[in-house]
Amino acid sequence: MATNDPLSPKSNVSKPSIGRKRSVVWDYFTKIRTEDKSKPRASCNLCGMTYACDPNINSTKSMLGHLEKTCKKSPLRKVDRNQSILGFQSGSSSRGLVPISFSVEACREVLAEMLVIDELPFKHVEGEGFKKFMLVLQPKWNVIPLRVTVAKDIYKLYLIEKDNPKNALKGQRICLTTYTWASV
C-alpha cells in the first residue's frame, strides 16, 4: 500500500540487488523525462527542484546535498551546529541578544515547574493542543514526555526544593510563638 506523504520515503519493494547499492536519494527523487534524452534529470518529490542524474557523468552527491542542506521539507536535513541561535535575555535589566542552546533536560525541568506553578493536571502534557503548541514552539523537542515522566520530574524538583528552606535557615534561630489576646 503506497502512501502519498512526500516526507515518507518510498517503500522499497524487495528487488534482487544486482551491481551497486541503490542510493537513499532515490527514495526522495524521481527521474523525469526531458527533451534531450542524453541529459536525464531527477526531480525532488518534496520541493520540485531538479538535478542532473546521468549515471555515467553525475553522481547522486548533488541530490544528497540538496536533501541535507537545501530542501526545507527534507527529513534528512542536517542543521549546521556551528550556527548559533539568538534569543533575548530574560530576567535581566539589559535586554540584549544572547546565544541560545536547546536542552531536553532544561525543557523537562521548566515543564515540571509550569505544571506546579499553574496547578495543571499531569495529563495536560498528553493533550493534542499542547503537543501541537510545543511542536510549533520548539520543533527540536519532538518527544514530549508522558504524564508519568512529568510526575517523576516534579518529584525530583520537590526533592531539590525541599532542602532550600533548610539551607537558607541553617545557623539561624527562629522563634515561632503566637500571642492571643483575649478580652475577658
Beta bridge partners of 97: 88
| Number of separate domains in the chain | 2
pLDDT tens, position by position, 9-42: 554 454 555 656 678 888 888 988 888 777 888 9
Helices (H), 12-67: 61-65
DSSP state, residue 122: G
Q: What's the chain's length in residues?
A: 184
Considering the domain architecture, whether residues 66 and 101 belong to the same structural domain is answered as no
Classify residue 75: in a domain, yes or no. Answer: no
Q: Taking residues 154-181, what's their average pLDDT?
A: 81
H/E element, 86 = strand 85-88
pLDDT tens, position by position, 91-134: 656 667 888 777 888 889 999 999 999 999 999 999 999 988 98
Tell me the CA end-to-end span of the chain in Å, nearest whole number: 89
Considering the domain architecture, whether residues 148 and 110 belong to the same structural domain is answered as yes
Considering the domain architecture, whether residues 109 and 144 belong to the same structural domain is answered as yes
Cut 0.95: pTM above it: no
DSSP state, residue 49: -
Going by pLDDT thresholds of 50, 70 and 90, the confidence category of residue 183 is low
Domain residues for the domain of 125 are 97-161
Tell me what the pLDDT averaged over the chain comes to.
80
Going by pLDDT thresholds of 50, 70 and 90, the confidence category of residue 176 is confident
pLDDT tens, position by position, 137-167: 887 787 889 999 999 999 999 998 888 887 7
